[in-house]
Amino acid sequence: MERAKARAGWLLLAPAFVHSLIFIALPAVTVVVLSLTDAQVIGGGSFVGLSNYAELLDDPLFHKAVQHTILYTIAVVPVAMAIAILVALGLNQNIRGRAVFRTVFYIPVVTSTVAVASVWLWIYNPSSGLGNEFLSFLGISPSGWLTDPDAALPALMAIGIWQGLGAKMVLYLAALQNVSPELVEAAKLDGANRWQIFWNVTWPALAPAHFFVMVTSIASSFQVFDLVFVTTNGGPANATNVLAFDIFTNAFQRLETGYAAAETVVMLMIVGVFIFLGRLTQRDRKEV
């Protein structure tokens, strides 16, 4: 009987295992192998060892791409998570039109990034955009937004926060609905106020949601490409050149597949470091 259960288990796992092998493990091994060659899109390549990685250390464009990607992640992920928690707390209350509000917040998630970028290109238009109209209403001088090297990356951060808010909100909303009402009631009977209930009951219950949202948000932030491609194309003056866009440029414009693969490996390592640090914060919170 136990052997039959084990065989049934492996049989049920087989499709997922095959999928992971073909679409995750095999590409991962391939990109590592390519990173050790000077392969190009057209034509073969030869083994060059760690030369691509050594070249990355001296590449100023790669350094800028790493810096911009890390800044984008550090700004977008925590801010979006904080706003998503506040929105989820509000929509978890018994308010009129709650389903409509949930839908409105989630619409940007299912909207094509190209369409989203096109709308924000109009908002950020220096001459007739809604962004500068709003600044003028507040008595602030107009901004170049996507044409100003100092403002371009923060402008893309604002789009990233807005577009990813709905997905995080839905996850937090689901987690809030699973908070034990008995624990909340017990805290109220003990005289706890709303803040104490949130910090000591609700917040610890959200720990699994925090970790999942953080991991998916970090991975999504490091993969930002289509937004940059449509709005700024890495400019102005490489001010919005992020890792995914730099990898695309090296692979499909300069046709340096091996070099782009090395960049991809480094990016995956950086993502792993971010997730590991995030995991440590969750562990520290549990210990407290």
In this structure, is residue 207 part of a structural domain? yes
In this structure, is residue 134 part of a structural domain? yes
Structure confidence by residue, pLDDT tens digits, 211-264:
899 999 999 999 999 999 999 999 899 999 999 999 999 998 888 999 999 999
Cα dihedral: 169, 230, 240, 87 (round 10): -10
In this structure, is residue 87 part of a structural domain? yes
Residue 150 pLDDT: 92
In this structure, is residue 29 part of a structural domain? no
Identify the residue with better confidence: 70 or 9.
70
In this structure, is residue 173 part of a structural domain? yes
Residue 98 pLDDT: 83
Neighbouring-strand partners of residue 37: 47
pLDDT greater than 60 at residue 124: yes
Backbone angles phi, psi at 47, to 5 degrees: -70, 125
Averaged pLDDT for residues 25-43: 88
**Hey, is 47 helix, strand or coil?**
strand
Name the pLDDT band for 123 (thresholds 50, 70, 90): very high
Residue 68: give its domain's CATH number. 1.10.3720.10
Residue 264 pLDDT: 94
What's the structural domain count of the chain? Answer: 1
Give residue 212's domain range.
64-243+261-287
Asked whether 226 and 158 are in contact (CB, 8 A), the reply is no
**Hey, is 106 helix, strand or coil?**
helix
Which residue's entry shows tokens 């520290």?
A: 284
CA distances, 199 to each of 47, 99, 186, 189 (Å):
55, 26, 14, 16
In this structure, is residue 231 part of a structural domain? yes
Residue 94 pLDDT: 83
In this structure, is residue 2 part of a structural domain? no
Asked whether 66 and 270 are in contact (CB, 8 A), the reply is yes
DSSP secondary structure of 161-214: HHHHHHHHHHHHHHHHTTS-HHHHHHHHHTT--HHHHIIIIIHHHTHHHHHHHH
Give the count of alpha carbons within 13 A of 206, CB side only. Answer: 26
Least confidently predicted of 118-127, 130-139, 279-288: 279-288
- How far is residue 27's CA from residue 130's CA, in Å, rounded to a whole number? 43
In this structure, is residue 99 part of a structural domain? yes
Residue 283 pLDDT: 62
